[in-house]
Structure 1
């Protein structure tokens, strides 16, 4: 089994920069941090570079092709917030070191006709074209719920099917231009969250407004996988979130896209353009543009207020498919954009890096990753420069390892 020694590196371990300059790894994980280089090890001289834990995107919708793209940008784990990559359906991903690893909620609990049905054009069919064979395996569980009893009943089924956490959609469609969309009521949300927590599951909620945020927090949700964008924050909502202990995945890049802000600036960066095909470039240069009246300054102010209050901020994007109506985002690349937005909001580069590594791993119970420490997975990103002082340096990719296997190309 080959051993690799990364030497002369500035090592950011997911929390802080270490004095150690050498990390030794193989396919079983990180062997040592600091110390001597073992005889016969392959040497990677990281002089002038920084070694980071592989990045984690805490909000995606993904497939194998997208996981490969994410890995090219040093994103070694994606957390799916609506999709099919549950534990019963991802063996082909977990064992493939050319793809980012993945965890999944399965499909979120929502009423029939509720979010996200309004996002897709009439007649849109995700997945294989009509007439082609459905992929092997059972059809995904669609936990449509309009009563507390239905929501409670679906929790055990989602767990049995391999959901890693349970997601609830709390959305009346007002942000997406579809006011009056069917939405979970308080009793149904409360019952579902309570049952999931009784069974030991992490719970997360899709919330785009302050009112939906309040509903989810009062239901006892563990994390918000969006940040409200319908106005500036209030002291009351910040205090409510802080006191609950919930984490927040702001997905600022998604909020910007909803407001009509495309990813042109990111797409113009040659470090990004060189890694995207035409479909993803076109998507990144587009935007959702459902809420042009929103103010990105309000969103950034809310991120700052939450962070200052001690709320855990996690880096996520809500990236999905390479389609312009889901635009402004691209797998992997948009994590780096999100880090830049977090710094614009007032986090230091180190605090932003924690949001994409150790903080996300801790909040999602991913105890084997998110940090550089002996015994953990060798999911690593080596970049030129120093992103602990200049966050844009995260895009200076020199090498990526997934489970100790260096990504080719």
Structure 2
């Protein structure tokens, strides 16, 4: 790592998370952005950004952490990951917060789901994940009644969950129909308790029916888009009128349909940053819903965006295991940006989905934009991703809290 007390990035086009500012000098002072615009301060270290675009560090709005995943994410300019089930709640992540060689993280802890409910069906029998256990084991909020769901919410928050996640899944998309699933009353009670306590709520919803349940309960955001059928104007209106955000995870849907990430893995800009395990994982797929239609998913995302719904970029990247295939931390967020553009978002809208929009919807007021006083989480890329989204992979430099990541 390399840190300079004051650094000036000069000559780069700046996309501040919301809009293109043109060529500006951005001054970093320690861990924060001192200024956007103006002259280079005397004595500052200078980074020549000519021919490049400076972006806020990217935010992946749906991951599951695993050994090495936060370091891998940062190598792709993803400076924050939002864990949607995992171990990195506040009680376990002090070492991550202070480590500028890995992406920062926020976490739901474990999601509210019935015993035997999703995601239990995804793990092969006898599977044990690699890596050390955290100092504090997570709370397992298995719930089958409204009273249980409501009681678990304050416990999750006290244990350091940053938002509360609910699983609404009968297993039909994963090839396990009939899984135990939260009923509407239990979901409603949990969401109402979270709202009373001021907590953000998100829901795992892979079907249109589950999406309706989430809307009825008053969920703040969906961390999947439904993939079991085409959208209707009515369901788009339901989501828009509820002011829910949506993290489509198109790259996950593609993997569920048997589409691998091999084309992404073949890109030399990706290949040089992946080890053999992640390369093999990316070249695999979940392949649990081959009857799905990716064109339907893209059309749904296009309709959501056109209706004014906040679309956020996320991947559902997990472990370096082929049964979680088609996805790799960091790399797949760039793939997701490409999918969002394929769905009809402009490159600028896609970039907002991985920066300012996600920061706003997840209440991360210190990041997601290039502005005075915010964290110096930055990604400098050759080219102009506001016109060609593929340029996000042309990494020239990455900073996490003002510390420049050394090339690996």
TM-score by length of 2: 0.98
What SS does the aligned partner of 1:59 have?
strand
Provide the C-alpha distance between the structure 2 equivalents of 1:185 and 1:125, rounded to a whole number of angstroms: 30
Answering whether residue 216 of structure 2 is matched by residue 218 of structure 1, we say: yes
Pick from 399, 402, 405 the counterpart of residue 404 of structure 1. Answer: 402
What residue ranges of structure 2 are gaps of 5+ in the alignment? none
**2:338 aligned partner:** 340
Q: How much has 1:125 moved relative to structure 2? A: 1.8
The superposition leaves residues 270-323 of structure 1 with CA deviations (integer Å, 9 ceiling, x where unpaired) of 000010000000000000000000000000000000000000000000000000
Q: How much has 1:2 moved relative to structure 2? A: 1.5
Does structure 1 retain, via aligned residues, the 8 Å contact 2:257–2:291?
Answer: yes
1:137-176 → structure 2 map (5 Å cutoff):
137-176=135-174
Answering whether residue 356 of structure 2 is matched by residue 353 of structure 1, we say: no
Provide the C-alpha distance between the structure 1 equivalents of 2:345 and 2:213, rounded to a whole number of angstroms: 27
Does structure 2 retain, via aligned residues, the 8 Å contact 1:383–1:397?
Answer: yes
1:53-202 → structure 2 map (5 Å cutoff):
53-63=56-66, 65-128=68-131, 135=133, 137-202=135-200
Provide the C-alpha distance between the structure 2 equivalents of 1:64 and 1:12, rounded to a whole number of angstroms: 32
What residue ranges of structure 1 are gaps of 5+ in the alignment? 129-133
1:195-274 → structure 2 map (5 Å cutoff):
195-274=193-272
Q: How much has 1:63 moved relative to structure 2? A: 3.7
Provide the C-alpha distance between the structure 1 equivalents of 2:23 and 2:367, rounded to a whole number of angstroms: 19
Does structure 1 retain, via aligned residues, the 8 Å contact 2:225–2:297?
Answer: yes
Provide the C-alpha distance between the structure 2 equivalents of 1:360 and 1:28, rounded to a whole number of angstroms: 21
Does structure 2 retain, via aligned residues, the 8 Å contact 1:64–1:93?
Answer: no
Provide the C-alpha distance between the structure 2 equivalents of 1:367 and 1:136, rounded to a whole number of angstroms: 28
Does structure 2 retain, via aligned residues, the 8 Å contact 1:64–1:99?
Answer: no
Provide the C-alpha distance between the structure 1 equivalents of 2:125 and 2:136, rounded to a whole number of angstroms: 26
What SS does the aligned partner of 2:397 have?
strand
**1:323 aligned partner:** 321
Provide the C-alpha distance between the structure 2 equivalents of 1:222 and 1:408, rounded to a whole number of angstroms: 38
What SS does the aligned partner of 2:278 have?
helix
**1:295 aligned partner:** 293
Provide the C-alpha distance between the structure 2 equivalents of 1:370 and 1:178, rounded to a whole number of angstroms: 38
Provide the C-alpha distance between the structure 1 equivalents of 2:77 and 2:378, rounded to a whole number of angstroms: 7
Provide the C-alpha distance between the structure 2 equivalents of 1:40 and 1:64, rounded to a whole number of angstroms: 40
Moved more, 95-104 or 117-126: 117-126
Pick from 18, 26, 32 the counterpart of residue 29 of structure 1. Answer: 32
Large movers: runs of 4+ above 6 Å:
none
CA-based RMSD of the aligned residues comes to: 0.9
Does structure 2 retain, via aligned residues, the 8 Å contact 1:20–1:33?
Answer: no
Q: How much has 1:28 moved relative to structure 2? A: 3.1
Q: How much has 1:127 moved relative to structure 2? A: 4.3
Answering whether residue 389 of structure 2 is matched by residue 386 of structure 1, we say: no
Does structure 1 retain, via aligned residues, the 8 Å contact 2:15–2:22?
Answer: no
Provide the C-alpha distance between the structure 1 equivalents of 2:66 and 2:290, rounded to a whole number of angstroms: 29
Provide the C-alpha distance between the structure 2 equivalents of 1:116 and 1:100, rounded to a whole number of angstroms: 25
Q: How much has 1:16 moved relative to structure 2? A: 0.6
**2:52 aligned partner:** 49
What SS does the aligned partner of 1:9 have?
strand
Answering whether residue 14 of structure 2 is matched by residue 11 of structure 1, we say: yes
The superposition leaves residues 128-185 of structure 1 with CA deviations (integer Å, 9 ceiling, x where unpaired) of 4xxxxx6352221000000000001100100000000000000000000000000000
**2:306 aligned partner:** 308
Provide the C-alpha distance between the structure 2 equivalents of 1:361 and 1:382, rounded to a whole number of angstroms: 19
